[in-house]
Amino acid sequence: MKIHFLTHMARSGSTLLARELDRYSNVSVTIEENLPDGIARGAKVLLRNPGDLDAYLDQAWHDDKLVSWGVDRHTLRRELMESHHFPLFFRDILSALTRLYFQENPPQCVIHKKGPYYLHAEAVRRAFPGSRMVHVDRDPRAIYNSQKRTRQSDGAGSMAEPVVTFAFQYLASCEVMERNQGEPDFLVVRYENLLDDPEGETLRILNFLGQKPGSREQSRYVGRIPSDQQHMHGNLDKDMMDGRRSAWKEELAPEEIVFLQKALKRTLQKKGYPLVDISLSGFAAWLRTRFRLAFFYLKYAAKRHMPGLYQWIKANTTRKQVDS
Protein backbone atom coordinates (compact mmCIF):
# COMPACT_ATOMS: atom_id res chain seq x y z
CA MET A 1 0.00 0.00 0.00
CA LYS A 2 1.38 3.41 -0.99
CA ILE A 3 0.70 6.12 1.58
CA HIS A 4 0.81 9.84 0.81
CA PHE A 5 1.13 12.57 3.43
CA LEU A 6 -0.77 15.71 4.34
CA THR A 7 1.66 18.04 6.16
CA HIS A 8 1.06 21.37 7.85
CA MET A 9 1.76 23.83 10.61
CA ALA A 10 -0.80 23.56 13.40
CA ARG A 11 -4.05 25.42 12.57
CA SER A 12 -3.15 26.08 8.94
CA GLY A 13 -6.39 24.57 7.63
CA SER A 14 -5.21 20.99 7.14
CA THR A 15 -8.26 19.42 8.81
CA LEU A 16 -10.55 21.33 6.48
CA LEU A 17 -8.54 20.02 3.53
CA ALA A 18 -8.69 16.49 4.97
CA ARG A 19 -12.47 16.79 5.15
CA GLU A 20 -12.71 17.91 1.53
CA LEU A 21 -10.39 15.20 0.20
CA ASP A 22 -12.29 12.56 2.14
CA ARG A 23 -15.46 13.43 0.23
CA TYR A 24 -14.17 11.39 -2.71
CA SER A 25 -15.16 7.74 -2.64
CA ASN A 26 -11.68 6.52 -3.63
CA VAL A 27 -9.79 8.60 -1.03
CA SER A 28 -9.47 8.18 2.73
CA VAL A 29 -7.52 10.41 5.11
CA THR A 30 -6.26 9.09 8.43
CA ILE A 31 -6.18 11.04 11.66
CA GLU A 32 -2.76 11.74 13.14
CA GLU A 33 -0.63 9.66 15.50
CA ASN A 34 2.49 10.37 17.53
CA LEU A 35 4.43 7.15 17.11
CA PRO A 36 8.21 6.85 17.37
CA ASP A 37 8.95 6.78 13.67
CA GLY A 38 12.62 7.64 13.27
CA ILE A 39 11.56 10.65 11.20
CA ALA A 40 10.00 13.27 13.45
CA ARG A 41 10.40 11.35 16.70
CA GLY A 42 12.82 8.79 18.09
CA ALA A 43 15.56 6.67 16.58
CA LYS A 44 15.27 4.81 13.29
CA VAL A 45 12.75 1.98 13.51
CA LEU A 46 14.52 -1.29 12.75
CA LEU A 47 12.84 -4.30 14.37
CA ARG A 48 14.93 -7.44 13.90
CA ASN A 49 12.87 -10.03 15.78
CA PRO A 50 9.59 -10.58 17.68
CA GLY A 51 11.14 -9.23 20.88
CA ASP A 52 11.95 -5.93 19.16
CA LEU A 53 8.40 -5.81 17.82
CA ASP A 54 6.87 -6.37 21.26
CA ALA A 55 9.08 -3.66 22.77
CA TYR A 56 8.04 -1.25 20.02
CA LEU A 57 4.33 -2.01 20.50
CA ASP A 58 4.72 -1.49 24.26
CA GLN A 59 6.01 2.00 23.52
CA ALA A 60 3.49 2.67 20.74
CA TRP A 61 0.47 1.93 22.87
CA HIS A 62 1.38 4.78 25.23
CA ASP A 63 0.36 7.15 22.42
CA ASP A 64 -3.21 8.29 23.07
CA LYS A 65 -3.56 9.39 19.45
CA LEU A 66 -2.75 5.89 18.21
CA VAL A 67 -5.15 4.33 20.71
CA SER A 68 -7.91 6.52 19.24
CA TRP A 69 -7.42 4.73 15.89
CA GLY A 70 -9.25 1.80 17.44
CA VAL A 71 -6.81 -0.81 16.08
CA ASP A 72 -6.26 -3.80 18.34
CA ARG A 73 -2.64 -4.26 19.35
CA HIS A 74 -2.69 -8.04 19.11
CA THR A 75 -4.32 -7.89 15.68
CA LEU A 76 -1.60 -5.52 14.50
CA ARG A 77 1.11 -7.81 15.86
CA ARG A 78 -0.42 -10.81 14.10
CA GLU A 79 -0.74 -8.84 10.86
CA LEU A 80 2.92 -7.84 10.98
CA MET A 81 4.13 -11.33 11.87
CA GLU A 82 2.08 -13.01 9.13
CA SER A 83 2.43 -10.50 6.30
CA HIS A 84 6.02 -9.24 6.68
CA HIS A 85 9.50 -10.58 7.13
CA PHE A 86 12.00 -9.22 9.61
CA PRO A 87 13.51 -6.71 9.82
CA LEU A 88 10.49 -4.44 10.06
CA PHE A 89 10.65 -0.73 9.28
CA PHE A 90 8.27 2.09 10.15
CA ARG A 91 6.65 1.97 6.71
CA ASP A 92 5.70 -1.66 7.42
CA ILE A 93 4.08 -0.67 10.72
CA LEU A 94 2.21 2.32 9.30
CA SER A 95 1.03 0.33 6.28
CA ALA A 96 -0.30 -2.46 8.50
CA LEU A 97 -1.97 0.06 10.82
CA THR A 98 -3.63 1.75 7.88
CA ARG A 99 -4.92 -1.52 6.41
CA LEU A 100 -6.50 -2.43 9.74
CA TYR A 101 -7.86 1.10 10.21
CA PHE A 102 -9.72 0.98 6.89
CA GLN A 103 -10.35 -2.76 6.79
CA GLU A 104 -14.10 -2.48 6.18
CA ASN A 105 -13.63 -0.11 3.26
CA PRO A 106 -10.05 -0.15 1.90
CA PRO A 107 -9.49 2.98 -0.23
CA GLN A 108 -7.63 3.30 -3.51
CA CYS A 109 -5.74 6.29 -2.16
CA VAL A 110 -4.58 6.70 1.45
CA ILE A 111 -3.46 10.09 2.75
CA HIS A 112 -1.92 10.16 6.20
CA LYS A 113 -2.27 13.45 8.06
CA LYS A 114 1.11 14.06 9.69
CA GLY A 115 1.80 17.72 10.36
CA PRO A 116 5.56 17.95 11.00
CA TYR A 117 6.67 15.72 8.14
CA TYR A 118 7.27 18.76 5.94
CA LEU A 119 10.26 19.54 8.18
CA HIS A 120 11.71 16.11 7.40
CA ALA A 121 10.96 15.79 3.69
CA GLU A 122 14.15 13.93 2.79
CA ALA A 123 13.68 11.42 5.61
CA VAL A 124 10.08 10.84 4.48
CA ARG A 125 11.30 10.19 0.94
CA ARG A 126 13.79 7.63 2.18
CA ALA A 127 11.31 5.89 4.47
CA PHE A 128 8.37 5.91 2.02
CA PRO A 129 9.71 5.67 -1.54
CA GLY A 130 7.23 6.90 -4.12
CA SER A 131 5.03 8.72 -1.61
CA ARG A 132 3.96 12.33 -2.14
CA MET A 133 3.49 15.23 0.25
CA VAL A 134 0.71 17.82 0.15
CA HIS A 135 1.57 20.80 2.34
CA VAL A 136 -1.01 23.35 3.50
CA ASP A 137 0.03 27.01 3.69
CA ARG A 138 -1.95 29.95 5.07
CA ASP A 139 -1.58 33.62 5.97
CA PRO A 140 0.69 33.45 9.06
CA ARG A 141 -1.40 36.04 10.88
CA ALA A 142 -4.40 33.74 10.53
CA ILE A 143 -2.40 30.69 11.62
CA TYR A 144 -1.18 32.43 14.77
CA ASN A 145 -4.65 33.70 15.57
CA SER A 146 -6.12 30.22 15.23
CA GLN A 147 -3.38 28.74 17.42
CA LYS A 148 -4.07 31.32 20.12
CA ARG A 149 -7.78 30.60 20.12
CA THR A 150 -7.44 26.81 20.22
CA ARG A 151 -6.71 24.66 23.25
CA GLN A 152 -4.21 21.83 22.90
CA SER A 153 -5.54 18.35 22.22
CA ASP A 154 -5.25 17.51 25.93
CA GLY A 155 -7.09 20.74 26.82
CA ALA A 156 -4.06 22.16 28.64
CA GLY A 157 -3.75 25.74 27.48
CA SER A 158 -3.42 27.45 24.13
CA MET A 159 -1.63 25.85 21.19
CA ALA A 160 0.23 29.09 20.51
CA GLU A 161 3.94 29.52 21.15
CA PRO A 162 5.28 33.02 21.88
CA VAL A 163 4.79 35.20 18.83
CA VAL A 164 8.56 35.50 18.25
CA THR A 165 8.90 31.70 18.24
CA PHE A 166 5.93 31.41 15.89
CA ALA A 167 7.55 33.83 13.42
CA PHE A 168 10.63 31.59 13.26
CA GLN A 169 8.48 28.50 12.84
CA TYR A 170 6.65 30.07 9.91
CA LEU A 171 9.90 31.15 8.26
CA ALA A 172 11.16 27.58 8.64
CA SER A 173 8.05 26.32 6.84
CA CYS A 174 8.67 28.83 4.05
CA GLU A 175 12.26 27.62 3.68
CA VAL A 176 10.95 24.07 3.24
CA MET A 177 8.42 25.19 0.64
CA GLU A 178 11.06 27.10 -1.32
CA ARG A 179 13.55 24.24 -1.10
CA ASN A 180 11.00 21.75 -2.43
CA GLN A 181 9.38 24.02 -4.99
CA GLY A 182 9.31 22.17 -8.27
CA GLU A 183 9.94 18.74 -6.75
CA PRO A 184 7.56 16.22 -8.34
CA ASP A 185 6.52 14.80 -4.96
CA PHE A 186 5.77 18.04 -3.09
CA LEU A 187 2.67 20.20 -3.59
CA VAL A 188 1.72 23.37 -1.71
CA VAL A 189 -1.97 24.16 -1.25
CA ARG A 190 -3.11 27.53 0.03
CA TYR A 191 -5.91 27.60 2.57
CA GLU A 192 -7.32 30.73 0.96
CA ASN A 193 -7.52 29.00 -2.44
CA LEU A 194 -9.31 26.10 -0.79
CA LEU A 195 -11.92 28.52 0.56
CA ASP A 196 -12.38 30.06 -2.88
CA ASP A 197 -12.59 26.81 -4.87
CA PRO A 198 -12.69 23.67 -2.71
CA GLU A 199 -13.57 21.30 -5.53
CA GLY A 200 -10.98 22.74 -7.90
CA GLU A 201 -8.23 22.52 -5.30
CA THR A 202 -9.04 18.98 -4.28
CA LEU A 203 -9.16 17.87 -7.91
CA ARG A 204 -5.72 19.46 -8.40
CA ILE A 205 -4.43 17.42 -5.45
CA LEU A 206 -5.93 14.18 -6.77
CA ASN A 207 -4.25 14.80 -10.12
CA PHE A 208 -0.95 15.37 -8.29
CA LEU A 209 -1.44 12.04 -6.50
CA GLY A 210 -2.21 10.27 -9.77
CA GLN A 211 -5.84 9.62 -8.84
CA LYS A 212 -8.97 10.04 -10.88
CA PRO A 213 -11.75 11.50 -8.76
CA GLY A 214 -14.39 9.12 -7.54
CA SER A 215 -17.90 10.22 -6.69
CA ARG A 216 -18.26 13.03 -4.14
CA GLU A 217 -20.03 12.00 -0.97
CA GLN A 218 -20.55 13.13 2.59
CA SER A 219 -17.12 13.36 4.19
CA ARG A 220 -16.32 10.66 6.74
CA TYR A 221 -13.37 12.50 8.21
CA VAL A 222 -15.12 14.40 10.99
CA GLY A 223 -16.39 11.15 12.46
CA ARG A 224 -12.83 9.82 12.74
CA ILE A 225 -11.69 12.64 15.03
CA PRO A 226 -11.64 11.41 18.67
CA SER A 227 -14.22 12.94 20.99
CA ASP A 228 -11.54 14.49 23.21
CA GLN A 229 -10.22 16.43 20.21
CA GLN A 230 -13.56 17.61 18.84
CA HIS A 231 -13.19 20.93 20.69
CA MET A 232 -10.35 21.80 18.31
CA HIS A 233 -12.53 21.47 15.20
CA GLY A 234 -15.82 23.13 16.03
CA ASN A 235 -16.32 24.55 12.52
CA LEU A 236 -15.84 21.33 10.54
CA ASP A 237 -19.55 20.62 10.40
CA LYS A 238 -20.12 23.96 8.67
CA ASP A 239 -19.67 25.02 5.06
CA MET A 240 -16.66 27.06 3.97
CA MET A 241 -16.36 29.96 6.42
CA ASP A 242 -14.89 32.81 4.42
CA GLY A 243 -14.93 35.06 7.47
CA ARG A 244 -12.12 33.02 9.07
CA ARG A 245 -9.85 34.26 6.28
CA SER A 246 -9.45 37.65 7.94
CA ALA A 247 -10.78 37.12 11.47
CA TRP A 248 -7.27 37.81 12.78
CA LYS A 249 -7.80 41.52 12.06
CA GLU A 250 -10.34 41.68 14.89
CA GLU A 251 -9.08 38.92 17.16
CA LEU A 252 -5.32 39.50 17.40
CA ALA A 253 -3.94 42.26 19.58
CA PRO A 254 -2.70 45.26 17.54
CA GLU A 255 0.85 44.78 18.80
CA GLU A 256 0.82 41.15 17.61
CA ILE A 257 -0.30 42.23 14.15
CA VAL A 258 2.35 44.96 14.01
CA PHE A 259 5.06 42.54 15.09
CA LEU A 260 4.09 39.84 12.57
CA GLN A 261 3.80 42.34 9.72
CA LYS A 262 7.23 43.79 10.44
CA ALA A 263 9.02 40.52 11.18
CA LEU A 264 7.44 38.71 8.20
CA LYS A 265 7.01 41.68 5.87
CA ARG A 266 9.00 40.28 2.94
CA THR A 267 7.32 36.91 3.22
CA LEU A 268 3.82 38.38 3.38
CA GLN A 269 4.48 40.60 0.37
CA LYS A 270 6.05 37.76 -1.63
CA LYS A 271 3.00 35.59 -1.02
CA GLY A 272 0.61 38.41 -1.91
CA TYR A 273 -0.92 38.86 1.55
CA PRO A 274 -1.74 42.57 1.94
CA LEU A 275 -0.49 44.45 4.98
CA VAL A 276 -3.01 46.37 7.06
CA ASP A 277 -2.56 49.80 8.56
CA ILE A 278 -2.74 49.58 12.31
CA SER A 279 -1.49 51.80 15.12
CA LEU A 280 -0.42 50.96 18.65
CA SER A 281 -2.14 52.61 21.57
CA GLY A 282 0.18 53.65 24.34
CA PHE A 283 3.88 53.61 25.06
CA ALA A 284 3.77 50.18 26.76
CA ALA A 285 2.43 48.45 23.63
CA TRP A 286 5.02 50.23 21.48
CA LEU A 287 7.81 49.19 23.86
CA ARG A 288 6.71 45.55 23.95
CA THR A 289 6.58 45.43 20.17
CA ARG A 290 10.03 46.99 19.87
CA PHE A 291 11.43 44.50 22.37
CA ARG A 292 9.96 41.58 20.44
CA LEU A 293 11.28 42.90 17.13
CA ALA A 294 14.76 43.48 18.59
CA PHE A 295 14.78 39.97 20.00
CA PHE A 296 13.55 38.55 16.68
CA TYR A 297 16.24 40.35 14.65
CA LEU A 298 18.92 39.27 17.14
CA LYS A 299 17.88 35.63 16.82
CA TYR A 300 17.56 35.93 13.05
CA ALA A 301 21.07 37.38 12.70
CA ALA A 302 22.47 34.76 15.05
CA LYS A 303 20.77 31.92 13.15
CA ARG A 304 22.28 33.06 9.86
CA HIS A 305 25.77 34.04 11.02
CA MET A 306 26.36 32.54 14.48
CA PRO A 307 24.47 29.25 14.81
CA GLY A 308 26.13 28.49 18.15
CA LEU A 309 24.81 31.72 19.64
CA TYR A 310 21.40 31.02 18.13
CA GLN A 311 21.21 27.63 19.83
CA TRP A 312 22.26 29.23 23.14
CA ILE A 313 19.51 31.85 22.84
CA LYS A 314 16.93 29.14 22.10
CA ALA A 315 18.03 27.05 25.06
CA ASN A 316 18.13 29.95 27.53
CA THR A 317 15.00 31.89 26.61
CA THR A 318 11.75 31.12 28.40
CA ARG A 319 8.18 31.78 27.27
CA LYS A 320 7.84 34.40 30.02
CA GLN A 321 10.95 36.29 28.87
CA VAL A 322 9.84 36.39 25.25
CA ASP A 323 6.30 37.46 26.00
CA SER A 324 7.09 39.97 28.74
**Model confidence over 85-122: pLDDT tens digits?**
999 999 999 999 999 999 867 788 999 999 999 999 99
Highest mean pLDDT among 12-21, 215-224, 307-316: 12-21
Could you give phi then psi for residue 190, rounded to 5 degrees? Answer: -90, 135
Residue 8, helix vs strand vs coil: strand
Helix (H, G, I), strand (E, B) or coil at 16: helix
DSSP 277: -
Q: What is the value of pTM for the model shown?
A: 0.89
Interval 150-159: pLDDT, tens? 877 665 677 8
Q: Would you say residue 146 has pLDDT above 90? A: yes
| Contact (Cβ atoms closer than 8 angstroms) between residue 158 and residue 152 | yes
Mean pLDDT, rounded, of the chain: 89
4 vs 102, more confident:
4
pLDDT score at 320: 42
> How far apart, in Å, are the Cα atoms of 233 and each of 199, 276, 277?
21, 28, 31
Domain residue spans in the chain? Answer: 3-242
Q: Residue 236: pLDDT above 90?
A: no
Select from 3.40.50.2300, 3.40.50.300, 1.10.10.10, 3.40.50.1820 the CATH code of 3-242: 3.40.50.300
More confident residue, 106 or 83: 83
The predicted structure's pLDDT at residue 310: 66
CB of 275 within 8 A of CB of 268? yes
Q: For residue 185, what pLDDT is reported?
A: 98
Q: Output 218 or 21, whichever has higher pLDDT.
A: 21
Give the residue among 114, 185, 172, 174 at the shortest CA–CA distance from 138.
174
- Give the C-alpha separation, 302 to 309, whole Å: 6
Identify the CA nearest to 130 among candidates 110, 145, 147, 113.
110
Average pLDDT (240-269) is: 92
Q: pLDDT band at residue 307, thresholds of 50, 70 and 90?
A: confident
Tens of pLDDT, residue by residue over 24-82, are 999 999 999 999 999 999 999 999 999 999 999 999 999 999 999 999 999 999 999 99
SS (H, E, C) 150-217: CECCCCCCECCCCHHHHHHHHHHHHHHHHHHCCCCCEEEEEHHHHHHCHHHHHHHHHHHCCCCCCCEC
* pLDDT at position 315 over 90: no
